Amino acid sequence: MGRYSVKRYKTKRRTRDLDLVYDDVSSPDSIRRLKNQEIDETKPGLGQYYCVECAKYFESNVALDRHRKSKIHKRRVKALKQRPYTPLEAEAASGLNVVKFIESVEKYKQSEEYKNAHKDEYEGLLNQKKDELDSILVGSSSKTESSKSEEDMVD
The residues binding Zn ion (CB under 5 A) are 51, 53-54, 73
What is the closest distance, in whole angstroms, from the C-beta atom of residue 7 to Zn ion in the complex? 17
- In the complex, what is the shortest distance from the CB of residue 155 to Zn ion, in angstroms, rounded to a whole number? 32
Q: Rounded distance, CA 67 to CA 44, Å?
A: 14
Residue nearest Zn ion by beta-carbon distance: 54
Residue with Cβ nearer Zn ion (54 or 138): 54
Q: Where would I find the beta strands (DSSP E) of 8-70?
A: 49-51, 56-58
Comparing CB distances to Zn ion, the nearer of 65 and 89 is: 65
CB of 51: closest distance to Zn ion in angstroms?
3
Contacts of 112 (CB under 8 A, 6+ apart): none
The nearer residue to Zn ion, 92 or 122, going by C-beta atoms, is 122
Where are the extended beta strands (E) located within the chain? 49-51, 56-58
Find the shortest distance in angstroms from Cβ 119 to Zn ion: 18
Considering only CA atoms, which of 91, 37, 45, 94 is closest in space to residue 65? 45
Is 48 in contact with 128 (CB distance < 8 Å)?
no
Q: Which is nearer to Zn ion, 25 or 92 (CB)?
A: 25
